[in-house]
Amino acid sequence: MARALFQSQSGTQDIFPSEADRRRRLVDIFAEEVTKAGYGQVIPPMFEDVGVFQRLGEASDVVSKELYSFVDQGGRNLSLRPEFTASVCRMFAQHRPLVPWKVWYTGPSFRQERPQKGRYRQFDQIGAEVIGTDDPDVDIELIAICWRFYQQIGLKNVSLVINSLGDFEDRARYLEDLQSYFKANADQLSEQSLKTSEINPLRVLDSKRPADADVIAKAPVLADYLGEPAAMSFERVKLGLTTLGIPFEVAPRLVRGLDYYGRTIFEFAATSLDAAQNAVGGGGRYDGLVEALGGGSQPGVGFALGVDRILLACDAEGVFDAVDSGPQVWVVTTTQGTEALEIVEELQTAGFRAGRSFGGRSMKAQMKAANRSGADIAVIVGESEAESGSVSIRQLRTAPPSGEVSSPSGSASQQTVIERTAMVEKVRSLLS
Ligand code: HAM
């Protein structure tokens, strides 16, 4: 039988060392920002009872079309998480921590979307949530964290749009009018949007179908329906962002892809990316979600940023490059003894990235591997060094004039023999 050569699934990515390293650094920077602001990390499970995610809204694509759902061996109806917010609220409802509960998270989410560049079926999010206060200063704090984070990694072309979806009663009045408006203009709407308007007319505003553009442009706007509490909260958010010097635009037709939002919502776009996939983060208030998950009437607000898209935006702007995390030192031995084991251990314990060849290869093959490894220095132990308790040090790359990348050096003349006890100090001084 022919052997199958499996390929990774469409919409998933195989991430190799230097890119994985870049991702980890990105998450580390985010972790530092949120920790400074007093957020603690939570790690919810990757799958939950499907009911947890159904609370995100039956009318949203994320629930109606994109959930990865399955029945396990025990007959339980489960789904891989399409986002973290519902899991964080379920966690809150189950464990009842003290409020305000300020948490952050990182990890993969899963949505059965049509894959393309920047749109994956498994993608990484970083995010934060605050449960237990409706103070709009928290909305400002969260937006400010995102803004600082984008700046920290060097992204310049990021824009922020905000809107208010009002309180439940405001939205109810608005939705009634919006639905009537769509009904009255049914002949000018796409069939799909007409269907969506029956379930949640707000979602129609999110339609990118050209057929709907004209009707949407003339639709009533929520801003005209805001009651006083929601309007005051939104004013405070705008004042806070202005005070902190965070540029924003109010987008009166901005809605989000999930149905749980009320009051402030916001989205960040990387303008260096194609418009279709340039949302690098978004969030807002969800004052009814905790209650829908049995956690009592607790307001919540949060955001999630897409790691994959942020890295694409970094590539487009030429910032936050991968850094070299390959070996600095390569250990070459031809003695059949235990020198390589000992020296690699000694160098790694002293804090250097040290590698070696395996399989008893010839000196020539090992030196070739040393050059290919990208290491700056080779530490060589042949029979004579082993006998005299010394090592030879060879610089594999000539020191570059400042600002230039170092190049391999083939010359053996830069090889020096030193006492083995002086090796760590010598390596340190050569690398510094
Ligand atoms: P979301 O807008 O659905 O919000 O996703 C947040 C971010 O995740 C997006 O802005 C985007 O960068 C990234 N993202 C979403 N789908 C994909 C995909 N298929 N491929 C690559 N990246 C993707 C939420 O998930 C909410 N939970 C945010 C939130 C937290 N609201 C309140 N708290």
Q: Say what the pLDDT of residue 408 is.
A: 55
Q: What are the residue ranges spanned by the domains of the chain? A: 17-167+227-317, 329-431
| Candidate of 9, 13, 66, 83 to mutate for ligand 1, largest count of ligand atoms within 8 Å of Cβ | 83
Return contacts of 270-274, CB within 8 angstroms, 24+ apart: 270/155, 270/157, 270/158, 270/309, 270/310, 270/312, 270/313, 270/316, 271/157, 271/158, 271/159, 272/157, 272/313, 272/316, 272/317, 273/118, 273/309, 273/312, 273/313, 273/316, 274/117, 274/118
What is the per-residue pLDDT across 339-379, written as a single tens digit (0 to 9) for each? 999 999 999 999 999 999 999 999 999 999 999 999 999 99
The domain made up of 329-431 has a fold known as Rossmann fold (3.40.50)
Specify the pTM.
Answer: 0.92
Query: What is the spatial distance between Cα 21 and Cα 19, in angstroms, rounded to a whole number?
Result: 5
Among 206, 183, 184, residue whose Cα is nearest residue 195 = 183
Q: In which residue ranges of the chain is pLDDT below 50?
A: 410, 412
Q: Say what the pLDDT of residue 58 is.
A: 75
What six digits make up the tokens of 305? 């940023």
Q: Say what the pLDDT of residue 313 is.
A: 98
Q: Say what the pLDDT of residue 409 is.
A: 53
Q: Say what the pLDDT of residue 24 is.
A: 97
CA of 280 to the centre of ligand 1 (A): 8
Would you give the end-to-end CA distance of the chain in angstroms? 56
- CATH architecture of the domain formed by 17-167+227-317: 2-Layer Sandwich (3.30)
Residues with CB under 6 A from ligand 1: 83-85, 111, 113, 119-120, 123, 125, 127, 129, 257-258, 279-284, 286, 302-306, 308-309
Q: Say what the pLDDT of residue 173 is.
A: 94
Q: Say what the pLDDT of residue 402 is.
A: 54
Q: Say what the pLDDT of residue 208 is.
A: 82
What is the per-residue pLDDT across 254-268, written as a single tens digit (0 to 9) for each? 988 888 899 999 999
Q: Say what the pLDDT of residue 225 is.
A: 95
